[in-house]
Structure 1
Amino acid sequence: MSTTGRVTGVDVWPELPYGEWNDTLETLHMVTQIVGKVRLSLTPLEPQWANVPLYLTARGLTTTPMASGPVTFQVDIDLIDHQVLITTNEGEIRRVPLTARPVAAFYADFMSSLRGLGIATRFVPSPSEVSDPIPFAEDTVHSAYDPDWANRFFRVLSQADLVLKDHRSRFRGRTSPVHFFWGTFDLANSRFSGRPVDPPPNAGIIQRLGADAEQICAGFWPGSR
């Protein structure tokens, strides 16, 4: 499905009632987790997990370029034509459709496409920062995908991205880019004071590495159960 034509002022911020699209949201969340874990596994660790997020494009979300051996590639989640694209610096491209099918089926096709391009990656093959995680290869629970709702989410996310970039531009200190955290499924920008902090002694690895500097965050999150 392609979403074509100019959007009107009403369409710029379309309604996104959680209860009407949460099934699609949960499937799309798993897709972003799979793509994001590839980025996590193949990029150098940065403070506050800055190497982990995805970034907005004019069509969806992207990993930005990364490398696996001699191959430089990126993964794009296209929420207009509803597909995940893997493109390489050698001119090759693979397309994995986003349709109403189990996450397990998407995961199998996506990993097969990576292997077909000579891309090797290793990561924990189950979602992070969610309750009751199901390994991707076994996830037949999340299978809903409505292209219209996915595109509505993208349009809202695109506008939130612009608002947060304007917000970010006014701060002269250290600040993160506006980026999309696939673990928590939110768009965020952080401002840092320059002072370190000690995470709680019982903090997990995500908080230990992400909350070791004094910061304040602003962002957009579509909700959860």
Structure 2
Amino acid sequence: MSERPEAWPVLDHAELAPMIEYVNRVVQVAGKYSLDDPFEVGWGNIVLEVSPRGLRTPTFRRKGATFTVHYRLLDGDVLIETDRGSRTLSLARTSVADFFTAFCEAASELGIPHPGTTQICEIPAAPSNFADDRDERVWNAQSARLMWEAFDLAADGLEAWQAPFLGHRPRVGVMWGGFDLSSTRWRPNRTKPGPEGPPFMRNAQLHAYVSVGFSFDNTHSDGTSPLDIGMYAYIWPQPDGLSGCNWVVEGADWHADLGLALLPWQDLRRLPDPHGAIIGFGDAVYDAAVQTAGWPTDLLGPRVDGWHMSEHQPTENVGQQG
């Protein structure tokens, strides 16, 4: 049996790119069901859980079926599980179009409606619909494991960072459109969305937030300047003064042209405590929001484990992070 890696893996985008492109497409198939559910601020309702075997949807409840879809990256298949039964679909040597057809057939057998749309979104180079993506995909188990390890390790750090925040914070998970691992803190300050962009993006900009996440995408928005795989962060609306902030973790820096603070994976994995570095990076981003955008400090509780809280009475210092 495989053991949890002691060292954080090397991630080479060129080697991982074919699998990233494939998985990003197929997770959108089941991800579409989340659009039928009530909208949560910042699209917190849509994220995929990083599971022990891959990526899993929330539990969906539809008339006649309660179900989840589990993209098992470590097994090379997709498990559709319902109260009526289950079906397993292979991801080996198939096209996105063939997978979509097989998925819809299995869903019908289990009493699940077809996804509400066939559109592939947020992938500029992809065909517009699942049925048009007929390139044969070859499953690479090693790349799939590396993708899962990166998501799993990053999620562990981001969940620890999120724990003490007392405001609205959707669960840490993978946004199936952009295929980034997202961790977001919100406050109920109404903001004005930017003038451009699709409705879903503008609806995510209705309130102020701080976002810290992980992404495999190493392409600048202009398609020319390569970026590193790794952690990213930004503050919406973007305040002035971020170029002078201290990002605390070695390798982290502000990139004004992108509007992002970045911590490359290649730097993160070499640090003595990468897990702690993710937490430190997130804390630095929140501190920057406090300093430059007036975010409150009283939304932070203590950062301690559950055993501590089960054995100690609350104190006047519960607003301080440990």
Q: TM-score, normalised by structure 1?
A: 0.90
Alignment equivalent of 1:9, drawn from 6, 11, 28: 6
Q: Deviations over 1:28-67 (max 9, x none)?
A: 11011112113323x2222222221111111111112112
Q: Quick one: distance in 1 between partners of 2:216 and 2:133?
A: 22
SS of the equivalent of 1:109 reads: helix
Equivalent residues of 2:168, 2:187 under 8 A apart:
yes
SS of the equivalent of 1:38 reads: helix
Q: Quick one: distance in 1 between partners of 2:53 and 2:41?
A: 28
Equivalent residues of 2:64, 2:112 under 8 A apart:
no
Structure 1 gap ranges (5+) = none
Alignment equivalent of 2:18, drawn from 23, 26, 29: 23
Q: Deviations over 1:6-31 (max 9, x none)?
A: 24413xx2222001120111011101
1:70 lines up with 2:67 in the alignment: no
In structure 2, the partner of 1:221 is 215
1:39 lines up with 2:34 in the alignment: yes
- Residue type of the alignment partner of 1:38: Y
- Residue type of the alignment partner of 2:175: F
In structure 2, the partner of 1:120 is 113
Correspondence list, 1:1-225, <5 A: 4-10=1-7, 13-41=8-36, 43-90=37-84, 92-134=85-127, 135-141=129-135, 143-225=137-219
Q: Quick one: distance in 2 between partners of 1:205 and 1:76?
A: 28
Q: Quick one: distance in 2 between partners of 1:214 and 1:179?
A: 19
- Residue type of the alignment partner of 1:33: Q
Q: Deviations over 1:84-138 (max 9, x none)?
A: 0011123x01001111321111111111110111111342212111214311112
- Residue type of the alignment partner of 1:58: P
- Residue type of the alignment partner of 1:119: I
Q: Which moved more, 1:151-160 or 1:129-138?
A: 129-138
Equivalent residues of 2:60, 2:66 under 8 A apart:
yes
Q: Quick one: distance in 1 between partners of 2:169 and 2:113?
A: 32
How many residues end up aligned between the 2 structures? 218
- Residue type of the alignment partner of 1:151: R
1:142: Cα distance to partner?
Answer: 5.9
Structure possessing the higher relative contact order (Cα contacts under 8 Å, 6 or more residues apart): 1
Q: Quick one: distance in 2 between partners of 1:183 and 1:142?
A: 21
Q: RMSD over aligned Cα, in angstroms?
A: 1.6
Q: Quick one: distance in 1 between partners of 2:136 and 2:167?
A: 41
Equivalent residues of 1:27, 1:142 under 8 A apart:
no
Q: TM-score, normalised by structure 2?
A: 0.64
SS of the equivalent of 1:26 reads: helix
Percent sequence identity is 27
- Residue type of the alignment partner of 2:2: G
SS of the equivalent of 1:73 reads: strand
Equivalent residues of 1:126, 1:133 under 8 A apart:
no
Structure 2 gap ranges (5+) = 220-322
Q: Which moved more, 1:156-165 or 1:43-52?
A: 43-52
Equivalent residues of 1:27, 1:144 under 8 A apart:
no
Bigger CA radius of gyration: 2
Q: Quick one: distance in 1 between partners of 2:114 and 2:102?
A: 15
Q: Quick one: distance in 2 between partners of 1:122 and 1:61?
A: 18
Structure 1 residues 70 and 218: CA distance shift in structure 2, 3 A: same
Q: Quick one: distance in 1 between partners of 2:190 and 2:14?
A: 40
1:224: Cα distance to partner?
Answer: 4.5
Q: Deviations over 1:158-197 (max 9, x none)?
A: 0100000011013222222111101110001111232110
Q: Quick one: distance in 2 between partners of 1:175 and 1:48?
A: 9
